[in-house]
Structure 1
Amino acid sequence: MSLLTADDAILRHAGGQGRAAVAQPTAQRMSDSYQAVKALTCQQVIDQLEAQGVTAEALDQRVLRQEIEQVISSRSRRGQLALNSAERLVLIEDVEDEVVGLGPLAPLLRDPGIDDIIVNGPHTIYVERAGMLEQVETRFRDDGHLMNIIQRIVGPIGRRVDEATPFVDARLADGSRVNIVIPPIALDGPLVSIRKFRLQALTVEDCVNSGVMSVPMAAYISSAVRSRLNILICGGTGAGKSTLLNVLSGCIGDRERLVTIEDAAELQLRQNHVVRLETRPPSVDGSREVSARDLLRNALRMRPDRIILGEVRGTEVVEMLQAMSTGHDGSMATLHGNSPRDALARLEMLLGFAGQQSDIRALRRFVANSVHVIVNIQRLATGARRVTSVTEVTGVEGDAYSLNELFRFEEQPPMSGEGAFQTLSPRPYHAARLRDFVMPTAAGSKRGGEASGIAAW
């Protein structure tokens, strides 16, 4: 009896896509018998390589594939496997993923239609396609199998995950962001969340054409970046804050020195002069931690033109706002918040955590002088992302912030995912500063027919 179906193999390799094509696994392929065959074949390949005194990682991909084919051919000759040519290709690919790749996660990572991969224990895996979650049939054999893949993820970047440190942020070789939680913190087995890295960075035009923002929004935001206004991007979890930060960074010129600070490096800056810094978690004894605040303090001594902070979440807010208000114009950061006013309130809260307990009016003047523009992005109920508000911080009047909301996305009816972009203010507060930096390609977009207040600048 065959362990694989020919249809499954044909689907997986159809269309000339080779390893990049991924078909939905059949129940037979996900069966315990197939998992056992794959595990035994992997072990035999490893034993054969050890006998030769080499490791799988040291071999060229073509040579490793030949070694796998030899083991499978040997087992087939002994009658241990009954495979046709299509089934043989599928098993070779899966064994290769197990030996040097990320096992069952590898085909999901190769699928360009998947944005997120969520592993809830060894037998339950979800993926996000077009903003919506769906369960897939891919699975691990057991907790041990999943833990082996986890150690393969964290090992190359010098991170560790064990009972002493049961959760960790990491990244894959391609830049994908990974969060891992293991028992005893995770009660139902190891948990893995992967935010996939886009091979091709999005541009402002891509966002306009896909409906993330309108033409006037794109023109204003691009001009704000070029004119070195300080920009804060806020939104909920998974709303697309980091992706939008990547998009806006593409508007920065090549003659500027940029310093990026992140917990797990994922920004795709395409400029020539970029310095990337990454935080380091504490060791087992609680020492050797390098926080975002430490990196921000050091970055100020590195002669940056702009500082780009992946996310503001702690006491580093003090150094960030000081940098924005003392010569590092054009800096950008992301922050959790459901609206521009929520983002400002969160900044005040973080400043309080950092020990800044001065008069509230002085605190708000400090924030208003540092942050020029707040861009709010949200993920709607349908999974679509939209820039829902672009707001300028114009100062403080009395005890309240003075805000000038330029653009808004109105969802009608609520929770429908449908709506329209509106231009609320015809003249930006920073119009004089923006006039020489208007995005020249905005009118040529596919949505160029929308009304715009750009000409009034």
Structure 2
Amino acid sequence: MNDDLLRTVRAHLARTGGRPTPDDVVTALRASGVVLGTLALEEMVREVRAELLGAGPLQHLLDDPDVTDVLVNSPHDVWVDRGRGLERTDLDLGTPGAVRELAVRLAAAGGQRLDDASPTVDARLADGTRLHALLAPLCATGAVISLRTVRARAFTLDDLVTRWMIPPTWEPVLRALVDERASFLVTGATGTGKTTLLATLLSLVDPAERIVTIEEAHELTPHHPHVVALAARHANVEGSGTVTLSDLVRNALRMRPDRIVLGECRGPEVRDVLTALNTGHSGGCATLHANTAADVPARLEALGALAGMTRESLAAQALSALDAVVHLRREVAADGTRRRFVGEIAVVRRGAGDRFVVRPALTWNGVGAPQEHDEWSGLAHRLGFAA
């Protein structure tokens, strides 16, 4: 792309104000005196929007529907993940300076600052893409950029059964979690599909109910007519304006919610969510990073400590608030493809001393027949099944 043309278009768009639309870009290009045919103009509009509003030379990778991650290690070392593991691309970003400029611009697009005084950033772009970047000298090779895409689509339970993410016999169990207003956690490691599954389950909520979702950035896209989506806000460059997940949970309680949903429990907001579920707001849910369902108590205890909760008080809150844990697993096949599936539906039970534990009710290894365990009887009774 011609740098002079880009500067001219950028200056024209700056005078118009607001977030430029495709028509604004076309108008700016024509005002610059460039004469292009229809196809060439469309291509130029895509390039200009990618440079000004998107991820520049990385945008075509993010636009690929199969790409989940784009990783820049250096100007000549760019990788993508299309669900088959990491693949190196032949993309050349030029110089370390060009990568740094791209990282700084992406951070600014996410409303964050990235410079020598603040050399790391964790932000969201306008389309929901997650951005993480570091500048030298924190990384010896120069600026490093990590982008994770967000695909806004709500699946049905039938879709997930067809994709073999859920065994067919578990479809009524998951549906009953929603219908019987059970409060539950969706857990799993990074990239296991927690948000996908949660959005699917929220799509089953009675259309007459009001769902309030609380997230770091909007990712949950349930197919439901009454969803109020709240998103946290980071501090601006002056260090003010922060709105935390805890703030949003407390506000959600005043919004006449039928279901309170926390997109990801990752900090002291665990106290507010458990409190909400223990004060009449049944049917709420959240996602939580955990390698196994059995690890959930340790994860919650660590988060509770950030909120000043003792182990005893956290256990009491969790035992009263949570009916089930739905755990997702991810396996990588020999050919590098990834398979994600619901591997366990578990329950929260009292453990020794001031601890609580998560015990399996149903388990599945992804290929054979699902297995029932002793705790299934109690969960089945809670969900209205004859065990």
Same fold (TM over 0.5): yes
Cα distance change of structure 1 residues 66 and 364 upon mapping to structure 2, 3 Å threshold = same
Q: 2:362 aligns with which of 399, 407, 417?
A: 407
The residue type paired with residue 372 of structure 1 is D
For 2:233 and 2:42, the matched residues in 1 are separated by 41
C-alpha deviation, 1:395, in angstroms: 4.7
Question: What is the aligned partner in structure 1 of residue 297 from structure 2?
Answer: 344
For 2:305 and 2:137, the matched residues in 1 are separated by 33
For 2:26 and 2:236, the matched residues in 1 are separated by 39
Q: Is the 8 Å Cα contact of residues 107 and 131 (structure 2) preserved in structure 1?
A: no
Q: Is the 8 Å Cα contact of residues 26 and 45 (structure 2) preserved in structure 1?
A: no
Question: What is the aligned partner in structure 2 of residue 422 from structure 1?
Answer: 370
Secondary structure in 1 aligned to 2:220? coil
Alignment of 1:159-198 (within 5 A): 159-198=112-151
Secondary structure in 2 aligned to 1:163? coil
Cα deviation code 1:281-303 (max 9, x no counterpart): 33456544322222222222222
C-alpha deviation, 1:48, in angstroms: 7.2
Higher mean Cα deviation, 328-337 or 116-125? 116-125
Q: Does 1:270 align with 2:223?
A: yes
What 5-or-longer segments of structure 2 have no aligned partner? Answer: none
Q: Does 1:230 align with 2:151?
A: no
The residue type paired with residue 348 of structure 2 is V
Question: What is the aligned partner in structure 2 of residue 356 from structure 1?
Answer: 309
Cα distance change of structure 1 residues 261 and 88 upon mapping to structure 2, 3 Å threshold = closer
For 1:119 and 1:287, the matched residues in 2 are separated by 31
Question: What is the aligned partner in structure 1 of residue 274 from structure 2?
Answer: 321
Cα deviation code 1:206-263 (max 9, x no counterpart): 2211121211223211210222111111212222222222222222222222222222
Q: 2:380 aligns with which of 404, 420, 431?
A: 431
What 5-or-longer segments of structure 1 have no aligned partner? Answer: 1-37, 74-85, 412-418, 436-453
Secondary structure in 2 aligned to 1:294? helix
Question: What is the aligned partner in structure 2 of residue 385 from structure 1?
Answer: 340
Structure ID, larger Rg: 1
Q: Is the 8 Å Cα contact of residues 394 and 429 (structure 1) preserved in structure 2?
A: no
Question: What is the aligned partner in structure 2 of residue 44 from structure 1?
Answer: 5
Alignment of 1:83-122 (within 5 A): 94=47, 97-98=50-51, 101-122=54-75
For 2:260 and 2:49, the matched residues in 1 are separated by 41
Cα distance change of structure 1 residues 344 and 434 upon mapping to structure 2, 3 Å threshold = same
For 1:88 and 1:290, the matched residues in 2 are separated by 41
Secondary structure in 2 aligned to 1:319? helix
Alignment of 1:430-449 (within 5 A): 430-435=379-384
Question: What is the aligned partner in structure 2 of residue 370 from structure 1?
Answer: 321
Q: Is the 8 Å Cα contact of residues 150 and 219 (structure 2) preserved in structure 1?
A: yes
Cα deviation code 1:112-151 (max 9, x no counterpart): 1212222223322211112411111123222343344344
Q: Is the 8 Å Cα contact of residues 68 and 92 (structure 1) preserved in structure 2?
A: no
Higher mean Cα deviation, 196-205 or 401-410? 401-410
Count of residue pairs the alignment pairs up: 379
C-alpha deviation, 1:67, in angstroms: 7.5
Higher mean Cα deviation, 330-339 or 244-253? 244-253
Q: Is the 8 Å Cα contact of residues 166 and 341 (structure 2) preserved in structure 1?
A: yes
Question: What is the aligned partner in structure 1 of residue 174 from structure 2?
Answer: 221
Q: 1:289 aligns with which of 215, 229, 242?
A: 242
For 1:152 and 1:253, the matched residues in 2 are separated by 43
Secondary structure in 1 aligned to 2:256? coil
For 1:312 and 1:48, the matched residues in 2 are separated by 42
For 1:161 and 1:185, the matched residues in 2 are separated by 13
Question: What is the aligned partner in structure 2 of residue 416 from structure 1?
Answer: none
Give the TM-score normalised by structure 2: 0.83
For 2:80 and 2:283, the matched residues in 1 are separated by 36
For 1:99 and 1:310, the matched residues in 2 are separated by 30
Cα distance change of structure 1 residues 192 and 428 upon mapping to structure 2, 3 Å threshold = farther
The residue type paired with residue 380 of structure 2 is A
Question: What is the aligned partner in structure 2 of residue 204 from structure 1?
Answer: 157
The residue type paired with residue 222 of structure 1 is R
Q: Is the 8 Å Cα contact of residues 318 and 351 (structure 1) preserved in structure 2?
A: yes
For 1:203 and 1:213, the matched residues in 2 are separated by 11
Structure 1 vs Structure 2: percent identity of aligned residues?
34
For 2:41 and 2:27, the matched residues in 1 are separated by 17
For 1:48 and 1:303, the matched residues in 2 are separated by 46
Question: What is the aligned partner in structure 1 of residue 205 from structure 2?
Answer: 252
Question: What is the aligned partner in structure 1 of residue 263 from structure 2?
Answer: 310
C-alpha deviation, 1:172, in angstroms: 2.9
C-alpha deviation, 1:45, in angstroms: 5.0
Higher mean Cα deviation, 347-356 or 147-156? 147-156
Cα distance change of structure 1 residues 89 and 355 upon mapping to structure 2, 3 Å threshold = closer
For 1:49 and 1:259, the matched residues in 2 are separated by 38
Alignment of 1:324-335 (within 5 A): 324-335=277-288
Cα distance change of structure 1 residues 423 and 141 upon mapping to structure 2, 3 Å threshold = same
CA RMSD of aligned residues (A): 3.4
For 1:240 and 1:186, the matched residues in 2 are separated by 30
Q: Is the 8 Å Cα contact of residues 365 and 396 (structure 1) preserved in structure 2?
A: no
Secondary structure in 1 aligned to 2:368? strand
The residue type paired with residue 276 of structure 2 is A
Question: What is the aligned partner in structure 2 of residue 449 from structure 1?
Answer: none
Secondary structure in 1 aligned to 2:116? coil
